[in-house]
Structure 1
Amino acid sequence: MLLHWPQNRSSLFLPIAALVLVVAGTMRSTPAVIAADRPNFVWIMSEDNSKHYLRHFDPDGAPAPNIEALAEHGITFDRAFSCAPVCSVARTTLITACYAPRIGTQFHRRSKMAAMPEGLKMFPAYLHDAGYYTTNNSKEDYNAQKSPDPWNESSRKASWKKRPDKSMPFFHVVTSALSHEGRLHFPEKAMATPPQTDPASVKLQPYFPDTDTFRYTRASYHDRMTAIDQVVGQVVDELKNAGELENTFIFYFGDHGGVLPRSKGYVYEAGLHVPLVVRVPERWKDLVSRELGSRTNGFVEFVDFGPTVLNLAGVDVPSGVDGKAFLGRGIDVAEVDARNETFGYADRFDEKYDLVRSLRIGNIKYMRHFEPYYPDGLQNNYRYKMLAYQQWRQLHAEGKLNEVQSQFFRPKAVEALFDLENDPHETLNLANDPSAQATLKKMRARLDSRLKAMPDLSFIPEAVLYESAMENPTEFGQQNKERIAKLIDTANLALLPFDEAENQLRDAISSSDPWVRYWGFVAASSIGLNAKPLTSEVKKHLADEQPLVALRAIEFMALLSDEDVRPALYETIQRASNEPELLQILNTAAYLNDFFGDRLTLDVEKVKSSIKLSKDGEVKDRLDYFSSK
């Protein structure tokens, strides 16, 4: 089929080091010895909350005495980051200790499970091999195929208390949905009941309109933080009553940011910057060369969490992961405190496509929008179940928002640069500020280097990965590393003035490589009206042999001409050959339908009749939305 990507199956993996444990041969037979030599671990994850909703991290947040008590006997990490702003990608990053775009696990919801990198297991499996009792209560939501034996039990009944020998060390994960996005999907009539937090007392982010709905929503979320704090207190009490509290490292953190609008699903700080407190048990405080009750600004990312637990447990961290430990044996506190870089990624969220990468170094944040003409506010059905989202969009349509509040519904800049010290809510883009050009170029080059080094698989469409890569994504990436670098260079033509990029863009859109053509059209569309001289050449590709390349030509013509591209769009929908390909085409359909006025309003029945594949799952979500318009 046209989507097939030729492969050379020769192995290009970095070797994965074997797990080395001096006492491996006796661990299972002498659990009492293990218990004497190994601490326990409990992770408490609250879903969908950034650090901004807890007073311990932000003066505008809610009080949380149990979390604050953990911090008094532990360490607060003021710069902790999820690498992705959504559940499945963030959790896969945690469990694999690998950056998702490198290993093919970056799409939420996955169209196909990715195989783990060759020789590498999900990190709890190494604890399990070392004699730990490993339990997860209960959410997994991984985008990778589960490796053998990460969990003794993973269910709503899983508990460290069920280990067969009470002297066995344990690693236990508790996930609480009390703070999940769905808790804010209340009907309008619910607002007649006041939340515990006074809506008048909360401070709204500057990009929100100051309305009763937004105040009620934020106040309700402060109540959710109170509920999470009670969960933390319950877990601590259980450990204390069992005599295990001072044997157990407790990690409390958010599973990614959220959850008011413009957070979950977006690589702004509200989507990535999470709370993290690690309580240090008295018995094992010699493993942590820090004063209890202290705080650090050293950057830690989700790829680091697994290696940190392994290091504290005295288990070798396997090679082949991207993270590095920040606590435990051999850790240089000064080195951790000096860490100042974090990488973020956003790809598909349910039925909504976008491709954004972020890099933060210190208080400088760089965001690269590879499809900048898609507004942040592009429809995602689950997001828009929230009344605040609905009201925000309605107020925009009525012209009742100021410049900052309207940004969410407008095309994005190709690149954005934020000074977080002076602009913590990321509303003032400094990319065009003459005084910021040296910093911009430095951040741009650093991100470019990281994307190519991985390499970042998202520069190949998900539909191609679905067909050709998911049995071994990392091998596929290594085999196509130079080609992916070429695609990134093509996408980056959008960063040049048109007169400097024109010849390279013409070469790209006439390339024999369909994915160079694909990114050539995206770059030209990103440049905008100055790229109109390419119109006659682009129009020839409205029926490109690759449906997704034709789709990018359709976007260009919609943006830069008066062409009625709907017939070409219906034809492209008909040619879709797998679900991710269809879903990406329908993403553009939603964009054209919602952001081009009456000029490109779709005929829903034509869209439906053009689809030759299943109309289930995320495809159904798009069709339901079209039908509701």
Structure 2
Amino acid sequence: MTSSTPRPSTAQPHVLLLHCHDLGRHLGCYGARTVSAPRLDALAAESVVAEQMFCSAPQCSPSRASMFTGRWPHSNGVLGLTHDGFGWDLNADERHLADRLGAAGYRSELIGMHHESARISDQQVAERLGFDRVQTGGSDREVVERAKQAMDRLASSTGSDPSTGPFYLQVGFSAPHRAPGARDAPGVMGFLGNHIEPDDSLGVEVPRYLADTDSAREEIAELQGAIAHMDDCVGQVLDELDRRGLTDNTITIFVTDHGLALPRSKCSLYDPGMEIAFLIRWPDRGWTGGRLDEVLLNLDIVPTLLDALGLAEQPEQSAGPPLQGRSFRPLLDGDRDALDERSEIFGEITYHDYYDPRRSIRTDRHKLIVNFSSAPTFMDPSQGWVRRCVPVAAPGEPDGRGNLGSHPAVELYDLAADPLELTDLAADPEHATVRDDLLGRLTRWMTDTGDPLLDGAVTSPLHRRSLEMLRQPEALPR
């Protein structure tokens, strides 16, 4: 990375955090040649780009809960989806980024996608997470207009006087999440909801981990259209920031939750499911270009922001559970020797549409996955029941449909020789030493972080509610 010498600012910076669903690193700035996202590519050109940031979990709520608390899903309480029918929620003592910044004088608003805590009223979300104002829901176009209005309120309330305090604005977009649409064939949930059109203006390139078929190309064109739609929405919010003259002294972040909503990606612990885009820009600090190749986690975002803002050591930050990520602020400032390289990172999934607990450890050479259920390998119902994309064939298989079976108990991959994670080496005697070492390191991490899987099956909020009804029949609806 290259970074200019940090320039002093007369005011504490604002923070604008833009996030979207299900993107992975599928952008031109990460090498996706047929994706049209000019606004994000332009933002990347004037930001520091993290080339190797990974999420904590390859699903929406658990990943976001980590992103905004700096803690693992099994530590912060969000082991599954938070919306109705699932009901996972942050533990009562968890602290959201908004709460931490609010303790330092930041005014804050949440606009659009909220997926990191229970689905309750907007006012309750604000009180629960520490925002001054919350407006959830709405189409992505509505989110843009609400974000502009929020910026107007926040900029007016903070003003140009440093003593009035800065703001934190969190804006979430639904695209490119799959969305049901009238144009979908029976059993298909595509990407063409919300007036999105397919985009093949730059061609169509199917990700390498999927078979390149006509149906896959059709689906990827839809996905590219959804990304183009999201890109335009992001650009409009950035334009408003610039119009107000706030760009230079605003930390602008763009990030996603996990990989694409495709087989072997979303809801899988393979790299395509865990890789995420992360762009960060702060012109007044000199964070205006370059790329980081160090391995980072979305748990690192909160500690990095607190460090950059000079808040990490403030007494009000000591309340609540300890952060489990680490600050990479020195890397952003150009000090490449300030942090030791990570020797390993971990990943987890417990619940999505159903119970499917898995844990993983990844080093620079190997990936080991432990599966605690016999659930289908790539069956995520949110991706539709009719599959237009199927995984690329593993060695010795006639096609990728064989990859749609059940998980083995343990999987081991050599990432250097097999970057697509197709050849499972877990049963290979020549790799037994590596396998056993990684199993031990994974067990140690689960123990150190209090992973409830070590104590047996994890029950869901719905399970616990139903059990309570059995114990107290008078609570049943009449």
| TM-based fold match above 0.5 | yes
- The 1-side partners of 2:275 and 2:405 are apart by 24
- The 1-side partners of 2:345 and 2:399 are apart by 26
Identify which of structures 1 and 2 has the higher relative contact order when contacts are C-alpha pairs closer than 8 Å and 6+ apart. 2
Paired letter, 2:405: R
- In the other structure, the counterpart of 1:305 is 301
- In the other structure, the counterpart of 2:141 is none
Question: What is the TM-score when the length of structure 2 is the normalising length?
Answer: 0.78
Tell me, yes or no, if the aligned pair for 1:199 and 1:219 is still in contact at 8 Å: no
Q: Please, which of 26, 47, 55 is the counterpart of residue 21 of structure 2?
A: 47
* TM-aligned CA deviation for residue 277 of structure 1: 1.3
- The 2-side partners of 1:579 and 1:61 are apart by 52
Q: 1:200 to 1:184 in 2, by over 3 A?
A: farther
Determine what percentage of the aligned residue pairs are the same residue: 23
- The 2-side partners of 1:341 and 1:263 are apart by 20
* TM-aligned CA deviation for residue 433 of structure 1: 3.3
Q: 1:132 to 1:348 in 2, by over 3 A?
A: same
- In the other structure, the counterpart of 1:97 is 70
Question: What is the TM-score when the length of structure 1 is the normalising length?
Answer: 0.60
Paired letter, 2:217: R
Check if 1:461 corresponds to 2:457: yes
The number of aligned residues is 424
Deviations 1:304-335 (A, max 9, x none): 11111222222126451111111269995324
Check if 1:426 corresponds to 2:428: no
Q: 1:112 to 1:204 in 2, by over 3 A?
A: closer
Paired letter, 2:349: A
SS of the aligned residue for 1:432 comes to coil
* TM-aligned CA deviation for residue 404 of structure 1: 5.6
* TM-aligned CA deviation for residue 386 of structure 1: 5.7
- The 2-side partners of 1:614 and 1:262 are apart by 41
Q: Please, which of 151, 169, 173 is the counterpart of residue 176 of structure 1?
A: 173
Q: CA RMSD in A?
A: 3.6
Give 5+ residue unaligned stretches, structure 2: 1-8, 119-123, 137-145
* TM-aligned CA deviation for residue 343 of structure 1: 1.5
* TM-aligned CA deviation for residue 294 of structure 1: 1.5
Aligned residue runs from structure 1 range 415-564, under 5 A:
415-459=410-454, 460-463=456-459
Tell me, yes or no, if the aligned pair for 2:15 and 2:251 is still in contact at 8 Å: yes
- In the other structure, the counterpart of 2:133 is 153
SS of the aligned residue for 1:355 comes to strand
Deviations 1:395-421 (A, max 9, x none): x9xxxx945613432222221122333
* TM-aligned CA deviation for residue 81 of structure 1: 1.2
Q: Please, which of 321, 324, 327 is the counterpart of residue 325 of structure 1?
A: 327
Structure with higher helix content: 1
Give 5+ residue unaligned stretches, structure 1: 1-34, 471-575, 581-612, 616-629
Q: 1:233 to 1:330 in 2, by over 3 A?
A: closer
Q: Please, which of 166, 170, 177 is the counterpart of residue 159 of structure 2?
A: 166
Aligned residue runs from structure 1 range 71-220, under 5 A:
71-109=44-82, 110-111=86-87, 113-117=89-93, 120-143=94-117, 148=128, 150-156=130-136, 157=146, 159-163=150-154, 164-167=157-160, 168-182=165-179, 186-188=183-185, 195-197=198-200, 201-208=204-211, 210-220=212-222
Deviations 1:65-107 (A, max 9, x none): 3222222222110111111111111111122211111232212
Q: 1:310 to 1:403 in 2, by over 3 A?
A: farther
Structure with higher strand content: 2
Q: Which runs of 4+ in 1 moved over 4 A?
A: 144-149, 183-186, 189-194, 328-332, 401-404, 464-468
SS of the aligned residue for 1:102 comes to helix
Look at both structures and tell me which one has the larger radius of gyration over its CA atoms.
Answer: 1
Q: 1:243 to 1:330 in 2, by over 3 A?
A: closer
- The 1-side partners of 2:108 and 2:191 are apart by 42
SS of the aligned residue for 2:306 comes to helix
Paired letter, 1:383: Q
Tell me, yes or no, if the aligned pair for 1:191 and 1:216 is still in contact at 8 Å: no
